[in-house]
Amino acid sequence: MTESTILPAETTDSGTVTNASARLGHREREVMDIVWAEGSGTVEEVSQRLPIRLAYTTVMTTLDRLFKKGLLLREKHDRAFRYSPAVSPQEVEGHRARALVDRFLQSTTAQPEMLLSCLVDALGEYDGAMLDQLEHKIREARESLNTAEADAKEASR
Amino acid sequence: MMLSPLLRTLCFALASGGLLLMVLEGLIWRFTPRSVELTSTRSPRLTERWFLSATLSARILPWLLACGALVPAYLRGEDNTSAERVALPCIAVASLVLLWISAAIFRSAITSLRTQRYCSGCQSTGRTVAGRQVHVHHGSHSLLAVAGIFRSRLIVSEHLLEEHHVAAPALEVALSHEAAHASHHDNLKLLLLSLLPRVGFSSARRSSLDDRWRLAAELAADHESTAGDAHRSLLLADLLVVLARDRVAAPAVMVTLLSAPDHLRLRVEQLLRATAPRTTGTASLARDSRLSILSLSAALLALAGACALFGHSAAELLLHLG
């Protein structure tokens, strides 16, 4: 199971830190760890160093998202982007510590909200690649269910 | 600063309660398993109750220990009835804790008022959809929710109904899911959790206790709405992904049960397992529950005993900082 890390500062494309919060998921964390360890890397290099094999597009989307959050910088080399860290691990840890303090004082600073339990979180940010993967899994599950039911009907005849 | 015995006691109760809250919440957060791990071995509703109890215990027990064991121990050993000097850091901690409690209560009160006002506004928009009384939300975003604290209402956005985004069978499963939240008073539980001050520990690998309870509540509602039927599970899984894609700007003021995008993946994967989650027999569940309650009671008694024994020394240490 993967969990999310909440960072208190979200960064823009240009790398400027804003006050909005950003989330660093488990996979994003793994990718950041690789870029920090290697100093820089292309999509291909990062995917080779990941502990599990992931689709090229998934790694590319993750790196792109980290770039958009301002956590990575990128430069075009030939036809591929080379990503390098825009922030140090210490800065990320610092953000996390600040997030903990923010949460601690959340009651005093945040605007009061309304209680509404939604089927899907309307405020959440969903990763397009993750939704594609889930859709694919649902399609496969539906096909196998239909096949199993057809086989069962056939057998009952 | 010189404080009277009453103010000293209050200061000690607040400071010790706040410190105990950090320690107990930290311990419970660290040693509580993940929602999905528990759901795979016991019924999702039981898991939800388990997490609610763990989260509430982490928030309530520190105050029970502070007021029920530490303060009486301090009062028993304290013979100075005149004003006494109290260290400034201790007063600062007590003031911060008081501010923390007041802010949590104030914020929850405003949340309740906002929710009640929203529900009152829904009164005139009742309609029957898939055999259930729902209130239609006028807005351009997709919304399928349950609102209200004591009397929950199912809310469906006009946008979803009119543009036929959702097929009737899928809508029926989704409404059953929301009805499960309503029948188990999940909004009231959410309010109760926000009413009590919390530290909210979380890390990259271990989400906060609140998040774990929220995911458990969603998994329980998913399980009840699909009733172990593979087709219903697929309909709900499909709808979750469709609505996540369809997500557009929603009102900026809402607390939702589903708080992390990762919960969506976990829920869909759980639904795709299609078969009903493996549950232990009633007898073993009862035995597990009794064992958990006994262990918790024993730990609490031991902690209360330690507080009663060392309460006065702890108070002297805290109030005078040595």
Is residue A115 situated within a structural domain? no
> Percent of chain A at pLDDT above 90?
3
pLDDT of residue A99: 66
Q: Is residue A81 part of a domain?
A: yes
- What is the model's pLDDT at position A16? 36
Residue B235 has pLDDT above 50, yes or no: yes
- A88 in the same domain as A137: no
Among the partner-chain residues B104, B197, B237, the one whose CB lies closest to the CB of A138 is: B237
Contacting residues for B207 by C-beta, under 8 A, at least 6 apart = A3, A4, B34, B215, B260
Same structural domain, A102 and A132: no
Q: Are residues A139 and A62 in the same domain?
A: no
pLDDT for B60 equals 92
Residue A149 and residue A100 share a domain:
no
B296-305 pLDDT tens trace: 677 778 877 8
Give the chain A residue nearest B173 (alpha carbons): A119
| Domain residue limits at A98 | 5-108
B135 closest CA partner among B158, B108, B105: B158
A108: closest chain B residue by CA = B103
Nearest CA in chain B to A116: B147
Check if A55 contacts B (Cβ < 8 Å). no
Q: Looking at residue B82, what is its pLDDT?
A: 80
Least confident range of B59-68, B97-106, B269-278, B283-292: B283-292
Statement to judge: residues A90 and A141 lie in one domain: no
User: Which pLDDT belongs to residue B99?
Assistant: 92
Closest Cα in chain B to A129? B245
Answer yes or no: are the C-beta atoms of B208 and B201 closer than 8 Å: yes
Counting other chains too, the contacts that B113-122 makes at CB distance below 8 Å and 24 or more residues apart are: B114/A112, B114/A113, B114/A114, B114/B253, B115/A114, B115/A115, B115/A116, B115/B147, B115/B148, B115/B149, B115/B187, B116/B148, B116/B149, B118/A114, B118/A116, B118/B147, B119/B147, B119/B148, B119/B151, B119/B153, B122/B147, B122/B153, B122/B155
CA angle A44, A50, A52 (to 5 degrees): 115
ipTM, interface predicted TM-score of the complex: 0.70
Q: How far is CA B197 from the centre of its chain?
A: 11
What is the pLDDT averaged over residues B31-56?
79
Nearest CB among B114, B148, B256 relative to A118 is that of B256
Distance from CA of A152 to the nearest CA of B (A): 15
Is the residue at A74 inside a domain? Answer: yes
Contact A95, A9 (CB under 8 A): yes
Do both A104 and A133 map to the same domain? no
Q: Are residues A85 and A154 in the same domain?
A: no
* Statement to judge: residues A27 and A72 lie in one domain: yes
Residue at A120 is within a domain: no
User: Is A10 contained in some domain?
Assistant: yes
Number of inter-chain CB pairs under 8 A, A vs B: 193
Partners of A97 on chain B (C-beta within 8 Å) are none
User: Are A10 and A85 part of one and the same domain?
Assistant: yes
Q: Is residue A22 part of a domain?
A: yes
Report the predicted TM-score, pTM, of the whole model to 2 decimal places.
0.68
Structural domain includes residue A52: yes
CB atoms under 10 Å from CB of A38, counted, come to 14
Residue A104 has pLDDT above 60, yes or no: no
So what's the pLDDT on residue A102?
57
Question: What average pLDDT does the segment A45-59 reach?
Answer: 87
pLDDT at residue B260 is higher than 60: no
Closest approach of chain A CAs to the CA of B200, in angstroms?
A: 7
Tens digit of pLDDT for each residue in B188-200? 898 888 888 888 8
- Does residue A150 share a domain with residue A99? no
Same domain, A25 and A96: yes
- Three-state secondary-structure class, residue A119: coil
The total number of structural domains that make up chain A: 2
The DSSP 8-state label assigned to residue B203 in this structure reads -
User: What is the rounded distance in angstroms from the CA atom of residue B286 to the CA atom of residue B280?
Assistant: 10
**Do both A28 and A99 map to the same domain?**
yes
Q: Is A66 inside any structural domain?
A: yes
Nearest of A1, A127, A135 to residue A65 by alpha carbon: A127
Question: What CATH code is carried by the domain that includes residue A101?
Answer: 1.10.10.10
In our burial notation (b when 16+ CB lie closer than 10 A, e otherwise), range B101-113 reads bebbeebbeebbe
One-character DSSP codes across A55-86: -HHHHHHHHHHHHHTTSEEEEEETTEEEEEES
